[in-house]
Amino acid sequence: MRLLTVIITMLRARLLARQFRDLRRRIHALSDRSRMRLSTLTLREIGQAARCDFPHLYGTAQEARYLPWGDGTEAGYERACSPNAEVSVRGIALWLAVAYHETKNSPYPSLQLQHRQLMQLLRELKEVQPGGSATTVERWMQAGEAA
């Protein structure tokens, strides 16, 4: 059973890594204004997900709450691929929030690597905020700021 769990986790990490590479490319192609908007939306989505009973299942139907992961990353990725700029930015923010919570405290090395890469990208987004001082960067991830 452990072997099956490890294989499933590795497959999940590969999927997230593939989607992450595509989304990172899309983020870097955004204008500065869109990146600032993405930064704000991502902050809000992470905060809203943190308030849920199961943050890694944010964006997933309530009856699926006992699954190891939900549909949030898939929904976010589909939206991120939209030709509509607003839908795309909102999809990226959803994907980042769900992936953040899904990989946050993972005991699996492949998902820990994904979390580190995600944190680097989130740091880049935090620095896009106007007045990107240390105080702003420290407050960015706090739950009180995320509402």
Number of folded domains that form the chain: 1
* Model pTM score: 0.83
* Residue 109 DSSP one-character state: H
pLDDT attached to residue 146: 46
Residues 94-103, mean pLDDT to the nearest whole number? 93
Q: What is the pLDDT of residue 51?
A: 87
The residue whose two tokens read 């890694």 is: 56
Name the percent of the chain lying above pLDDT 70.
84
What is the end-to-end Cα distance of the chain in Å, rounded? 41
Q: Is the pLDDT of residue 144 over 80?
A: no
Q: What angle do CA 40, 102, 35 make, to 5 degrees?
A: 20
Exposure of 7 in the CB half-sphere (CA atoms within 13 A) = 4
Domain that holds residue 126: 2-145
Q: In angstroms, rounded to a whole number, what is the distance separating the alpha carbons of residues 45 and 117?
A: 18
pLDDT for the residue numbered 79: 95
**Is residue 70 over pLDDT 90?**
no
